[in-house]
Amino acid sequence: MIIDSHVHISYLKKKKSFFQIKDDLLLNMRQNKIDYSIVIPDNISNSQCADLQVVMDLIKNKSNLYMIGTIRIAQINKINLLEIEKLFQLKIIRGFKIFPGHDPIYPTDKRWHPVYKLCIKYDFPLIIHTGINVGNRKCARYNNPKHIIKIAKKYPKLKIIIAHYFWPKLDYCFSITNGFNNIYFDTSGLADPEVVKISGGIKKIKGILIKTIKRRAESVLFGTDWPMCNVKKHINLVNSLDITKEEKNKIFYKNSRHLFRLK
């Protein structure tokens, strides 16, 4: 079984309807034998990447698609927190994503704390976007794992998934997260040729993933960042790792099934 824990309903160059992209996603899943995908909405309404409401409507009757919640920090208020809580209660969202670096906001910003408490209350993970954007390396200061470990320390029951392994600084991200049993990593983007090149090559990527799995086999989840990244390349990356069959099963589906509490 394979669960892709990190996809978006978005288009790259050629404009497409979100409905069409959802069909592309389902086709791509069939082609790559992906059993379930977890869709991450954008935190702002726009025509390029589906937001929370759009994703909710699109995946309503799809038993192989799940979704994550998100909101911009400026929208956090009593009413919206109640709305998020309701979505958690109904298991319509199975986690929450924040985008430090896309937004000039630190994960330690106090305004996020009520959301973190909801994640803990309903036992769903917090996903944090990390790493550089090509053409804007400075944005990574907002998602530096040195801030993330502060949250992990303050909320030991909060399960935190670091997306994109704070690329290109993989070694630093590995070291600084040592000892945190509530920090997880998805593989999204790590097979992307540009990410591989800037992060020090495929040997470096594989080495870090193996070290992370050997440190705690529960901490790595398969994710691709489709359609930005190629699904097959990510499957091949995990398959190429010199780890046990059971460790591969954990990456491909067991860890995300557990974290997102899928059946």
Q: What residue ranges bind Zn ion (CB under 5 A)?
A: 225
Helix (H) or strand (E) holding 72: none
Of all residues in this chain, which one has the CB nearest to Zn ion in the complex? 225
Min separation Cβ 245 and Zn ion, Å = 28
Q: Which residue, 4 or 225, has its beta carbon nearer to Zn ion? A: 225
Min separation Cβ 215 and Zn ion, Å = 24
Q: Which residue, 103 or 225, has its beta carbon nearer to Zn ion? A: 225
Which amino acid type is present at position 77? Answer: N
Min separation Cβ 188 and Zn ion, Å = 6
Q: Which residue, 192 or 225, has its beta carbon nearer to Zn ion? A: 225
User: What is the CB neighbour count within 10 angstroms for residue 68?
Assistant: 23
Q: Which residue, 164 or 257, has its beta carbon nearer to Zn ion? A: 164
Min separation Cβ 162 and Zn ion, Å = 12
Measured in residues, the chain has a length of 263
Long-range pairs, 26-34, Cβ under 8 A, ≥24: 26/62, 26/64, 26/65, 28/226, 28/227, 28/231, 29/4, 29/64, 32/2, 32/231, 32/232, 32/235, 33/2, 34/2, 34/3, 34/4, 34/231
